[in-house]
Amino acid sequence: MTGTRGRDVSRRGFLAAGPAAAAAAGLAACAGSPSAHAPAASASVGAPPISAPPRDTLAAPGTPATGPDLVPGGPATAVTNGPRDRPSVALTFHLGPHEAGQDLGLAHQLLADAARLGAPITVFAVGQWLDEHRDLVPTVLAAGNELANHTHTHPTLTALPADQVAAEITACRDVLARLAPAEGRYFRPSGTSTATPLILTEAGSAGYRTVVDFDVDPLDYTSPGADAVVARVRAGVQPGSIVSLHFGYPGTVEAFPRVVANLRAAGLAPVTVRDILA
């Protein structure tokens, strides 16, 4: 049975990793302003959220859903993990303007490592950024990786009214449908650690049955270093876990092979969200 618990249990396994981790526990991956998980040197405290583009420039929420298995309906369901009786773990990565690295070098390195290790990942992409870097799509999808929706411009979604929330979801949905028609089954909100009832309603209206949360958050976007990322994932992970990680952070990229090795040593297979929720 998939989990539907709130964020209060998402970090239970690794808050003991140290004072820095505990101090950061109030933050969620991609929480706060869109710069919240940018490299520390460029982060700005209290920066205003990015506004969604004008709704009349995006696909209207009432238009037919595109992409696999997308059928507009009632509110989506938020899940934090897959079944606990299966020896598998989903490693999910956020990909957008703050996570790719300016020259895409870190993104290519992580994707190459995933292919070399036979460890498929699920990439929650920011639609506008992905459209501008569409040449990366075949590389992302190589070796069985999966693409999913992480809004169009990466705003703090909880700060937006319903029409702009809908526009953010549908615009990224339509980018994915155009660039990778077989992809885009799942949605993850930006700027918040918990999908609100409004977000679940608009996600359902856009055709998404599932909003994918996570139960392991090593806070890698705070740049704690590779050793900390490895230790926090190892402390929090269990069968069925969904792990939140980010492109663009050297420590995360360095940690990735060890994260995969630790999973396999524990008898856990890295799989996509599609497979863990199947």
Of 133, 141, 199, nearest to 169 (Cα)?
199
For residue 191, the SS3 value is strand
179 has pLDDT over 80? yes
Q: Are 135 and 141 in contact (CB under 8 A)?
A: no
35 has pLDDT over 60? no
Range with the poorest average pLDDT among 28-32, 124-128, 217-221:
28-32
270 has pLDDT over 60? yes
Q: Are 206 and 176 in contact (CB under 8 A)?
A: no
Q: Which residues have C-beta within 8 Å of that of residue 274, sequence separation ≥ 6?
A: 122, 146, 185, 186
Q: Are 164 and 177 in contact (CB under 8 A)?
A: no
10 has pLDDT over 50? no
197 has pLDDT over 70? yes
Tokens of 226: 């590779």
14 has pLDDT over 60? no
Q: How confident is the model at residue 30 (pLDDT cuts 50, 70, 90)?
A: low
Q: What is the pLDDT of residue 65?
A: 62
Q: Which residues have C-beta within 8 Å of that of residue 44, sequence separation ≥ 6?
A: 33, 35
Q: What is the pLDDT of residue 69?
A: 80
Q: What is the pLDDT of residue 97?
A: 85
106 has pLDDT over 80? yes
Q: What is the pLDDT of residue 135?
A: 94
Range with the poorest average pLDDT among 52-66, 89-103, 233-247:
52-66
Q: What is the pLDDT of residue 244?
A: 97
Residue 13 or residue 66, greater confidence = 66
Of 232, 247, 248, 243, nearest to 276 (Cα)?
243
SS (H, E, C) 84-149: CCCCEEEEEEEECCCCCCCCCHHHHHHHHHHHHHCCCCEEEECHHHHHHCHHHHHHHHHHHCEEEE
Range with the poorest average pLDDT among 94-108, 222-236, 264-278:
94-108
Output phi, psi for 3, to 5 deg. Answer: -80, 150
Q: What is the pLDDT of residue 201?
A: 98
Q: How confident is the model at residue 4 (pLDDT cuts 50, 70, 90)?
A: very low
Residue 173 or residue 100, greater confidence = 173
Name the most confidently modeled range: 8-17, 30-39, 91-100, 198-207.
Answer: 198-207
DSSP state of 7: G
Per-residue pLDDT, averaged over 251-269, amounts to 98
Tokens of 205: 């209206």
Q: What is the pLDDT of residue 112?
A: 97
Distance, CA of 185 to CA of 177 (rounded, Å): 10
149 has pLDDT over 50? yes
For residue 241, the cross-strand partners are 81
Per-residue pLDDT, averaged over 80-88, amounts to 97
Distance, CA of 213 to CA of 203 (rounded, Å): 13
